[in-house]
Structure 1
């Protein structure tokens, strides 16, 4: 990769803010530059866009950290620790994004790439994709939210089995356990992911973000706390221009125009 070549590409496509990892020759391996550029791309989302679409060029979505850079570091602990810190800011930004985040993944998802996928709201996965934590192979413990994403989707016993034995998941297994939302044929991935993003962009974005907060928090709240949160957020949704438009459209027997509900 030349010094002036970006690791991340961005593009506005109507309602969609498309972010594409573009280091295919390295499997989109995580480096300080890629982390910084992805953080900047998320921060630069135009306010008028209603969905973030995360894609990757090349046969592999993200193979995790660039292990060669770890080997060349004078102080591996400091280097990897700083990279993990920077990557965690990226993952936090995805989790708190004010619009839904849709990802399309293919080929290989490994290491910190697993945590990134787990932070997205809806993941479309090519059928031949393999998902592997891979940390144990180099003597590392997980980062990037990978342990959170796997424990959340697989449960602790299966997550530990996967990580302690340096195992992998097929796309079908990842779909069955809920790590990814949809499976498609490899040659349909880009089109299918784009279509999902467009469908979501036409919907009530702020209500979707409230829904995300409820779903993400359900595992750590009591039932009573969840009911309280639901009551608060549905009231906010009803008062929101989106909710008002949705109710009017239902009464008037027409399709709602959530894009105009500001």
Structure 2
């Protein structure tokens, strides 16, 4: 399956923002295998320093961010377990690459983020939703367990008891509750979701990239490190950044009472 050349690119690196359109307009806005494959390649290039993007922007291609995996593919004749395992492994390669790129992740969660879409949304640092945004685990309804890290991320965001209730009962979460629970960072009008998320991604990309990448890494690592280890990691990070161009510029600009010019 190849991407339709008449449609916008699934992966685009522009003005310092690596944009990945995770869903396809086909099959009801399901997760795009091409976006998973191409996105994984681009994210690994970013992690290796072969791309210089300062932020990652996750988008949907239609009215929904991502309505889940294409269940019809799982139902094709043949041996379902190996096919499902292959799809999960590919998806998890994408998720791992997304995290290991260590760049701020912004997601434009318009419409539904269900199943795999909800899993992807929970890996965003800043998720912007619309008034009609809905999140739903959606795995129970097809007799499967979650993938994409949903059973790892959701308890860390909303707490263990609430995460168990949401996943096991297949709860639908509207935009107001998602904002209250911390699943969304901000809610805007539906037609403003992409613009709002894009503006945040552009602002992050224009900032001190090394500092933002280091900060995101510290935030991610904090869940599994002791306080003493984390204090040591913070000390190593801030001292390293103090000798890099953006760190020097930021401090000098502050002392001189002028706007910092990062990335020069």
Question: TM-score, length-normalised on structure 1?
Answer: 0.91
**Structure 1 position 98, deviation (Å):** 4.2
**Structure 1 position 142, deviation (Å):** 0.9
Q: 2:226 & 2:13 partners in 1: Cα distance?
A: 40
Partner of 2:4: 5
Residue deviations 1:54-85, cap 9 Å, x none? 21121111111111111114111111111111
SS at match of 1:119: coil
Stretches of 4+ aligned residues off by more than 6 angstroms: none
1:215 paired with 2:214, answer no
**Structure 1 position 9, deviation (Å):** 2.0
Partner of 1:99: 103
Partner of 1:19: 20
Cα-Cα RMSD: 2.0
1:89 paired with 2:93, answer yes
Matches within 5 A, 1:160-199: 160-199=164-203
Matches within 5 A, 1:1-262: 5=4, 9-21=10-22, 23-30=24-31, 32-43=33-44, 47-260=51-264
Whether the 8 Å CA contact 1:27–1:59 is kept in 2: the answer is no
Unpaired runs of 5+ in structure 2?
A: none
**Structure 1 position 12, deviation (Å):** 3.5
SS at match of 1:19: strand
Whether the 8 Å CA contact 1:95–1:120 is kept in 2: the answer is no
**Structure 1 position 28, deviation (Å):** 3.0
Whether the 8 Å CA contact 2:65–2:112 is kept in 1: the answer is yes
**Structure 1 position 199, deviation (Å):** 1.3
Q: 1:200 & 1:4 partners in 2: Cα distance?
A: 29
Whether the 8 Å CA contact 2:114–2:137 is kept in 1: the answer is yes
Residue deviations 1:186-231, cap 9 Å, x none? 1111211111112111211111111112211222222222212111
Aligned residues: 259
Q: 1:209 & 1:48 partners in 2: Cα distance?
A: 12
Question: TM-score, length-normalised on structure 2?
Answer: 0.90
**Structure 1 position 47, deviation (Å):** 2.4
Residue deviations 1:234-256, cap 9 Å, x none? 11121222111101111111111
Whether the 8 Å CA contact 1:125–1:182 is kept in 2: the answer is yes
Q: 2:249 & 2:72 partners in 1: Cα distance?
A: 53
Whether the 8 Å CA contact 1:53–1:102 is kept in 2: the answer is yes
